[in-house]
Amino acid sequence: MTHVRQSTILITGGASGIGKLMGRKCLQQGATRLLIWDINPIGLQDTAQELSASGYEVHTYQVNVGDIEQVKQTAEQVLAQFGAPNILINNAGIVVGKPFAEHSMAEIERTLQVNVLGVMAVTNAFLPDMLARGQGHVVNIASAAGLLPNPRMSVYAGSKWAVLGWSESLRLELEQAGHGMRVTTVTPSYIDTGMFAGVKAPLLTPILQPDTIADAILQAVEQNRIILRKPFIVHLLPLLRGILPTRVFDTVAGRWFGVYTSMNDFTGRPAAEQKPVNAT
């Protein structure tokens, strides 16, 4: 089993939202040190001061995970200082909620850089050293949006479908190679962090509370769970999409449960606060 206690934990997007919550909980559970990557310098400073004041060892790095060179350079710095983390949590992500025809190419490119290439680049930077050590756990925060289509979320959903496919493929590669590595993929629905402000919760799909999902993720890591789906109804999505004709599924998800209109009143964070943070 993976143990948070006496581990070095690295969390991207760790200066706010569930990233920050998971970091604090890891330290409270006895992690040796917490390495926080985030693009927001003020958030990094505030989080470091808050956690250090409680006597914890915290190191912060301002880095845009969508910038491959920044990822490489910062990873080299971390490896030189502490070696590879025992637990790597790929949490950073962004969302632009609007019809695809209204997206600019800059928005599309940035979303894919952060949500897809960023996750892969960070893992790629640390995985060789984790493999050489013969131990490690990679946690990828994907989304329930990677399990079904949703209007006004096409680019975000596409990025999360990519993360889900990559994460599960990575897990199988590592298992086949016999390395002492674990991969956990998390597919939560909307989380109440402000990232999805304005969304309407679909039927039987409550907006997840950050503290609750943070606890669930860390528990899943320590139990070496392969997939964590929250809330429970997310477990039904692969089954329903597999057995129902597409038009029938559209009726169930769109008309009965209200999934396809859940983003109609999406506002997200104010533009001034937009930054790569935890993704759901």
Render pLDDT for 119-137 as a digit per residue (tens, 0 to 9): 999 999 999 999 999 999 9
Mean of the per-residue pLDDT values of the chain: 94
Task: Please give the average per-residue pLDDT across 251-262, as a whole number.
Answer: 96
Which residues are 33's β-sheet partners?
Answer: 8
Cis peptide, bond prior to residue 231, ω within 30 of zero: yes
What stretches of the chain adopt beta strand conformation (E)? 8-12, 33-38, 58-62, 87-90, 92-93, 136-141, 181-188, 227-230, 277-278
Residue 176 tokens, joined: 């086949």
Which residues are 37's β-sheet partners?
Answer: 12, 61
Is 156 part of the annotated catalytic residue set? yes
Task: Please give the average per-residue pLDDT across 233-260, as a whole number.
Answer: 96
The amino acid at 173: E
**Closest of 171, 210, 162 to residue 21, by C-alpha:** 210
Task: Please give the average per-residue pLDDT across 216-243, as a whole number.
Answer: 96
Q: What is the pLDDT of residue 270?
A: 65
In the predicted model, is pLDDT for residue 186 greater than 70? Answer: yes
Please give the Cα distance from 240 to 254 (Å, whole number): 13
Task: Please give the average per-residue pLDDT across 157-182, as a whole number.
Answer: 96
Q: Which of 52-56, 81-85, 98-102, 267-271 has the lowest mean pLDDT?
A: 267-271
In the predicted model, is pLDDT for residue 68 greater than 80? Answer: yes
In angstroms, what CA-CA distances link 238 with 57, 79, 235? 41, 38, 7
In the predicted model, is pLDDT for residue 278 greater than 70? Answer: no
Please give the Cα distance from 59 to 50 (Å, whole number): 12
Other beta carbons less than 10 A from residue 72's beta carbon: 14
Task: Please give the average per-residue pLDDT across 104-124, as a whole number.
Answer: 98
End-to-end CA distance of the chain: 26
Q: What is the pLDDT of residue 194?
A: 87
Cβ–Cβ under 8 Å, residues 32 and 254: no
Residue 206 exposed, middle or buried by CB count within 10 Å (0-12, 13-18, 19+): middle
In the predicted model, is pLDDT for residue 257 greater than 90? Answer: yes
In the predicted model, is pLDDT for residue 275 greater than 90? Answer: no
Other beta carbons less than 10 A from residue 256's beta carbon: 11
Task: Please give the average per-residue pLDDT across 214-243, as a whole number.
Answer: 96
Task: Please give the average per-residue pLDDT across 13-23, as a whole number.
Answer: 97
| Active-site residue, selected from the candidate residues 56, 156, 190, 260 | 156
Q: What global pTM score does this model have?
A: 0.94
Q: What is the pLDDT of residue 276?
A: 47
Cβ–Cβ under 8 Å, residues 190 and 208: yes
Q: What is the pLDDT of residue 241?
A: 95
Q: Give the CATH architecture of domain 8-278.
A: 3-Layer(aba) Sandwich (3.40)
